[in-house]
Homo-oligomer: A and B are copies of this chain.
Amino acid sequence: MALKAQVLYDFTAEPGNNELTVKEGETLTITNQHIGGGWIEAQNSRGEIGLVPEDYIESNVLKHPNFSSFSSSIIQISKWRGSNNNWASNPEGTQTGKTAPDPWSSVSQGHPQAYQGPGAEDDEWDDEWDDMKSTGGYAESESGDGGGIQRGGAHATSMKISLNKFPGFSKSGPELYLLCKQLTKGKDKLPIYIGEVGPVWFYPETQLDCVVADPKKGSKMYGLKSYIEYQITPSTTNRPVNHRYKHFDWLYERLLDKFGSAIPIPSLPDKQVTGRFEEEFIKMRMERLQGWMSRMCRHPVVSSSEVFQLFLTYKDEKEWKMGKRKAEKDETVGVMIFSTIEPEAPDIDLIEVDQKCEQFSRFTKAMDDGVKEILTVGHEHWKRCTGPLPKEYQRIGKAFQNLSSVFNSSGYQGESTLTDAMTAAGKTYEEIAQMFAEQPKKDLHFLMETNNEYKGLLGCFPDTIGVHKAAIDKVKEGDKLVATSKITPHEKVTMAKRVSVMSYALQAEMNHFHSNRIYDYNRVMQLYLEEQVKFYETIAAKLRQAHGQFTTM
């Protein structure tokens, strides 16, 4: 007897990937449940056969007693990317999840794994239908608010680390650090120095960098599923390592967990993109992964962290897996990162801490607005440059050429100089049309990418700053808390010292941000203007040549 299954959630097949589109409530016949990798093969009522994520359907055979929370887990997972779940702020949950060997452990960490079946190896869940989709530039979006930029989105606008959602006094917020009995010991200390511009992180002598290149298509499950692997070569070892998008995603989650309270960790280029231009998409994703990696490399704290070094320099599969497990067990995550920070400067009083925090909050908000304005304007400009403008120059060119060929039919002597010149002028305008259409990729693209990166980065600040504000609020309540015996007078003093440490961290991070910002905007504006100059000069030169063909008679 054929096995039947109920579809629990809508699933849209990726074309060319042997998948089957199914709707919630539909009944399927399972034709092969031993595909593996979280997939089963099933047939729908119209006789179509294809792969469906195991977790999207329900059948008695698949329903294992251990997964009684199955449905609710799936819902949690599928809504995860767009939700406001406070997933990273629940250290207890994280700890529990991490220590438990069950495959759902990472749900509480917010790891998407709808496609991880009970039997799948930890490393083998698949996100490749995301990998294979594409955006296609800024111009394709209908949205007017710069929404053409696929990167970022819900995922990018917030790091989801806000801790101030717990109105009562509990240890789940910044108090975890402010009041913890014992600070982390050992080698992982993060010093802060006072430099020319104020508090700064410790910067290594040579700045790490890496090259993301050579995307290669791999496949697994006997060719049923395919994925892209990128080659990453760090400047330190010059030895390439390979990673798939999901490994980047894993790294991002680790960095966010570990540093997110102190350092804005920008999102990866968005997975949730649609389109058909595979090659262009892979190129775009690679470029953005490169941008992300370069930014991480440039951050002295991130780039020197163990997990980041693991990602860039692991020697074999065994080292990678061991390193992964170690990173996932790291307990110095969330606000506890502040326990590793050691400013080499006297404590700052609360008023100054508060003022600095407010200043950074205002600045990042204002810059976020400015960046979004540029993205909106740039998006409009991109559309015009690739849409109506080349069409118009094309039409001008055609009109000149058409008139030229009419002239050519006059039968009048000595017509050819004019008609040749007019044809040349017409062709020149057609060339200009082409130039207009291609120009945005040469200049506006980089201006947009940089601003888009900054939009992502600035989107992380509200959460990072939120951690600080929550801590400041707590310290402000110090007297009251002592009076009501919620904390001891000694704890009050400790809290004040620790919020000063947090402020140094924030200042160091802002100074890092400013110095990078100045560098990035100088560079991108130069590139943009340089290409713009070339563009207009080339047009002028072409028109000058066309002009020379006309005679004064």
Contacts and interface: CB of A to CB of B under 8 A. Distances in A.
B392 A380 contact: yes
Nearest to A428: B529
Contacts of A100: none
A77 interface: no
A377 B403 contact: no
B517 A529 contact: no
Given A521-B418, A521-B422, A550-B525, A395 B377 contact: yes
Contacts of A396: 377-378, 381
B514 A410 contact: yes
B406 A529 contact: no
A169 interface: no
A381 B550 CA distance: 23
Nearest to A394: B377
A384 B523 CA distance: 32
A289 B121 CA distance: 87
B377 A399 contact: yes
Contact of A410 (B363, B400, B413, B415): B363
B540 A540 contact: yes
Interface stretch (A38-46, A368-376, A478-486): A368-376
A526 B552 contact: yes
A196 B547 CA distance: 28
A551 B533 contact: no
A422 B362 CA distance: 21
Interface in A406-430: 406-407, 409-415, 418, 421-422, 425
A533 B543 contact: yes
A411 B362 CA distance: 12
A10 interface: no
A240 to B, nearest CB: 29
A514 B532 CA distance: 41
B518 A414 contact: yes
Nearest to A532: B543
B518 A415 contact: yes
Contacts of A75: none
A349 interface: no
A16 to B, nearest CB: 39
A551 B523 CA distance: 8
Given A380-B392, A418-B518, A550 B536 contact: no
Contacts of A144: none
A196 B518 CA distance: 71
Nearest to A511: B412
Interface in A166-208: 196-197
A504 to B, nearest CB: 16
A539 interface: yes
A544 interface: yes
Nearest to A367: B406
Contacts of A514: 410, 412, 415
Interface string A522-543: 1101100110110011011001
A90 to B, nearest CB: 34
A402 interface: yes
A395 B502 CA distance: 39
Contacts of A409: 362-363, 366
A399 B370 contact: yes
A519 interface: yes
A277 to B, nearest CB: 27
Contacts of A400: 374
A546 interface: yes
Nearest to A540: B536
A359 interface: yes
24 contacts: A197-B414, A363-B410, A366-B406, A367-B406, A373-B399, A373-B403, A374-B399, A377-B396, A378-B399, A380-B392, A412-B510, A412-B518, A414-B518, A415-B518, A418-B522, A421-B525, A519-B553, A525-B550, A526-B550, A529-B543, A530-B547, A533-B544, A533-B547, A537-B537
Interface of A: 196-197, 359, 362-363, 366-367, 369-371, 373-374, 377-378, 380-381, 384, 388-389, 392, 395-396, 398-400, 402-403, 406-407, 409-415, 418, 421-422, 425, 510-511, 514-515, 517-519, 521-523, 525-526, 529-530, 532-533, 536-537, 539-540, 543-544, 546-547, 550-553
Given A370-B402, A522-B550, 15 more contacts: A197-B413, A370-B403, A373-B398, A374-B403, A377-B399, A412-B515, A412-B518, A418-B521, A421-B522, A519-B553, A529-B550, A533-B540, A536-B536, A536-B540, A536-B543
